[in-house]
Amino acid sequence: MNVQTTGPRTIDVSPGRVEASHICVENLTIAYGALTALSDVTLSIPPGRITALIGPSGCGKTSLLTCLNRLIDLIPGARVTGRILVRDTDVLGRDADLLRLRKRVGMVFQKPNPFPFSIRRNFDIVLSEFGVRRRADREARIDECLRAVGLQAEIGHRLDMSACALSGGQQQRLCIARALATRPEILLLDEPCSALDPMSTMTIERLLLKLKDSITLVIVTHNLSQARRIADRCALFWTRCGTGYLLEHGTMADLSERPQNQVTDDYLNGRVA
């Protein structure tokens, strides 16, 4: 599918080359009221790759993810300090255009959440808002998005049925297709397969591997096998006194074979929970 991205594809994505980052997180701290959920995270996420955020529950992975598209603004009492750059856009800036940012940085949630309307309406709401007014153009874009997630053959002929009547795996792929309708350059995925059966999980993993050619993907997962199967890079988060922090990050191969921390080695090999 035709997804507009602006960055070069063949660039050095080593951690030291900040200019090669698609997303650059600097000294990010997130707090909910008096509780600091994530402390002083600095991380660069390269374009056209799958970056997995892993770690035990409560270490701030999802909080970090929701900062990248400022969805954290919806949570009362959340405070964020530090800096996040998506290309040249200062995400946390006072004058950040949130609607434009979220159009560029799509998100898929743990639980499939299609709108409780028809499949077609799920797309029409998004497309009509973003200026795709002609019916023929909308049909073409729906077809394009459904093809990208492998749903065209399954549901392309019954677009007027309720999206909630689809299976869990189909609903999640529909949500990915709906997120692709805005032609994002980054897609954030918060444990997208945790509620799905192994077959649906495999389908979505294949889909993500295909999508990474055109979109930068950031995925939160508790499934280490999944991270090994699909991720190019990995960031391991840990907790200290209830506060999350970034323990180690690098390529998946680096973390698996040459971990810098004993905890990383133990966690990736299933020796600690």
Partner 1 sequence: MRRSLRPFVNDLVVRAAVAAVVFVLAAIVVHVVTRGAALVSWDFLTTAPRAAGRAGGIAPVLVSTAAVTAVALAAALPLAVGAAVFLVEAVRPHTVAARLTRGCLGVLAAVPSIVFGLAGNMIFCDWLGFGFSILAGGLTLALMILPIAACVAETTLRMHGEDRRAGYALGLPQRRIVWSIMLPAAAPGIFAGLGLGFGRAVAESAALIFTSGYVVRMPDSVFDSGRTMAVHILDLAMNVPGGDGNAFATATVLLVSVAAVVALFTALDGKQGREFV
Of 48-56, 115-123, 149-157, 265-273, which part binds partner 1 (CB under 8 A)?
Answer: 115-123
Q: How far is the CB of 248 from partner 1 (least distance, A)?
A: 29
How buried is residue 7: exposed, middle or buried, by Cβ count under 10 Å (0-12/13-18/19+)?
A: middle
Say how many C-beta atoms besides its own lie within 10 A of residue 135's C-beta.
9
Tell which positions 137-196 bind partner 1, by CB under 8 A.
Answer: 164-168, 171, 175, 178-179, 181-182
Instruction: State the number of binding residues for partner 1 (CB under 8 A).
Output: 36
Per rule CB under 8 A, is residue 245 in the interface with partner 1? no
Q: Counting contacts by CB under 8 A, is residue 32 touching partner 1? A: no
Q: Per rule CB under 8 A, is residue 103 in the interface with partner 1?
A: yes
Q: Tell me if 206 sits within 8 A of 179, measured CB to CB.
A: no
Nearer to partner 1, 71 or 246 (CB): 71
The DSSP code sequence of 136-201 is HHHHHHHHHHHHHTT-HHHHTT-TTSBGGGS-HHHHHHHHHHHHHTT--SEEEEESTTTTS-HHHH
Q: What is the dihedral of CA 137, 139, 144, 150, to 10 degrees?
A: 170
As measured in angstroms, the least distance from the Cβ of 240 to partner 1 is 29
Cα separation, 22 vs 68, whole angstroms: 11
**Which backbone phi and psi does 200 adopt, to 5 degrees?**
-65, -35
Q: Name which of 22 and 178 has its Cβ closer to partner 1.
A: 178
Contacts of 144 (CB under 8 A, 6+ apart): 1, 2
- Binding of partner 1 by 111 (CB under 8 A): yes
Q: Which residue in 35, 90, 93, 129 binds partner 1 (CB under 8 A)?
A: 129
Q: Which is nearer to partner 1, 115 or 245 (CB)?
A: 115
Q: Does 33 bind partner 1 (CB under 8 A)?
A: no
Say how many C-beta atoms besides its own lie within 10 A of residue 210's C-beta: 14
Taking the C-alpha atoms of residue 116 and residue 31, their distance in angstroms, rounded to an integer, is 33
CA distances from 227 to 120, 234, 235 (A): 32, 8, 10
Q: Considering only residues 72-91, where is the footprint of partner 1 by CB under 8 A?
A: 74, 76
Give the nearest distance from C-beta 103 to partner 1 in angstroms. Answer: 4
Determine, following the binding rule CB under 8 A, whether residue 107 of this chain makes contact with partner 1.
yes
78: amino acid identity, one letter: A
Which residue's CB is nearer to partner 1, number 5 or number 39? 5
User: Shortest gap between Cβ of 214 and partner 1 (angstroms)?
Assistant: 18
Residues found near partner 1 in the complex (CB under 8 A): 69, 71, 74, 76, 98-104, 106-107, 109, 111-117, 125-126, 129-130, 164-168, 171, 175, 178-179, 181-182
